[in-house]
Structure 1
Amino acid sequence: MRLQIADCYDERRRDWTGMNFFALADLHLSNAVNKPMDVFGDRWKDHQQRIRDAWIDVVSQDDVVLLPGDISWALTLAEAIPDLQWIARLPGKKLMIRGNHDYWWNGIGRVRKHLDAGMFAIQNDALSVGGYAVCGTRGWLLPSHPQFNAHRDDPLYRREQERLRLSLRAAAKFNLPIVCMLHYPPLSHLGEDTLFTALLSEFEVRLCIYGHLHQAAHRYRFEGKKDGVEYLLVSSDYLGFRPLQLPL
């Protein structure tokens, strides 16, 4: 099992009281690259400062913050380090997965090597913390999406299914309630069955959080329960750039 440091962290802290879980996807930080988010509309103006202010307001040092991808606009790990350090200075323990824009995430060993204490990257494995097993993967476009191309996208869709299976199997070994992060939505507003929802139900996941949807695309979200799994959209602009306390 990977993330041995995290496993030990769980054993020391399982009896903590007052630990809360928060989530915020799509930080889209750009401390080392010129990628201002306000080009996508006024709602993104000063979004990084707004995230910082809200995070400090609601998250304590003993809390856990889940970050389901699109963390940095950086193209290389070197460019991403200022963004990772910016996150590290905020309160709480941070658990993250890769998003579709995290091009800097190239090699999980290299990524983990550059993470500060209290920051953990999940890829094909899982982490136990605060009485929960946390797992996840990036995901991919769903067959119901109008831009889904069977020749191009189906192999990636099925590859991400297998990565999710690996992560869920690792999580199940902890014998704890499972919380899963995906970057792409695992289902749409249609509430359809997908390869992802089938696995999440099979492993009796307690809560699945996801991001990726922005602005007008928020209307394609699915929130609520399906086959025993609760789903929540946590993209930053959907939450007003404020970490959401999870119902755990």
Structure 2
Amino acid sequence: MQTEKVIDHIVNWLKNYAINANINGFVVGISGGIDSAVTSALCARTGLRTLCVEMPIHQPPAHVTRGKEHIAKLKKQFANVSDVNTDLTETFEVFKAALPEISASPELQLSLANTRARLRMSTLYYFAGIHKYLVAGTGNKVEDFGVGFYTKYGDGGVDLSPIADLMKSEVYALAKVLGVPESIQVAKPTDGLWQDDRSDEDQIGASYDELEWAMKEDKKGSTASDFDGRKKTVFEIYKRYNNANKHKMEAIPVCEIPMNLKE
């Protein structure tokens, strides 16, 4: 990959899109992870106003520290970058308290994890609205179009997606050139939606390198029967997520009414 040219291409795409839409800049949620770091660095390079928003909800201290380190470095490099910290922990707890009491279950925990992402989406659009900014998505190609590893109407609720055509390995390649802090580059990828430090690999059961391989094999038309051992396991994991999360990756189904019923 021609990394520097890819960076220039994305930066120009972001800038032209914002100018043509008569928008002042971008807002990016900063998690302390590689995807949000790369996305915010790309937005900063447009020269347009870029607002980095921290939105901790019972966040592990390491995530917060990495996010602050990245923001501080961006602000030192780019005068167009600003930041705001909006701690949503109390908001999340108030929301939970307003809900009917339900017995603890994996489904409850997943629903609450997704609620965190949706609270953050609402916060980003609040800032986007008052500043006339666009919400820049931080999803990569494997997450957005492979396994659907994001929250519908949470981190999936964005105005534009600058890195969604990049595999995770390609995002890391951009991070090196963009000067993303080493602490972020070496950290295990995590969605940060749980009150622990579980990684994406812990949740999915496969690494991003493995998922990239499976995504490419799926595009070739391969099936699980073409592999054995770990490769077969990874391919089956990929297909399970891909099939289960089609509702995130495809357009919302619309019930079309036959014309004769409208007459």
Q: Which has the higher helix share?
A: 2
Q: Which has the higher strand share?
A: 1
**Same fold at TM > 0.5:** no
What's the TM-score once normalised by structure 2's chain length?
Answer: 0.31
Larger radius of gyration: 2
What's the TM-score once normalised by structure 1's chain length?
Answer: 0.33
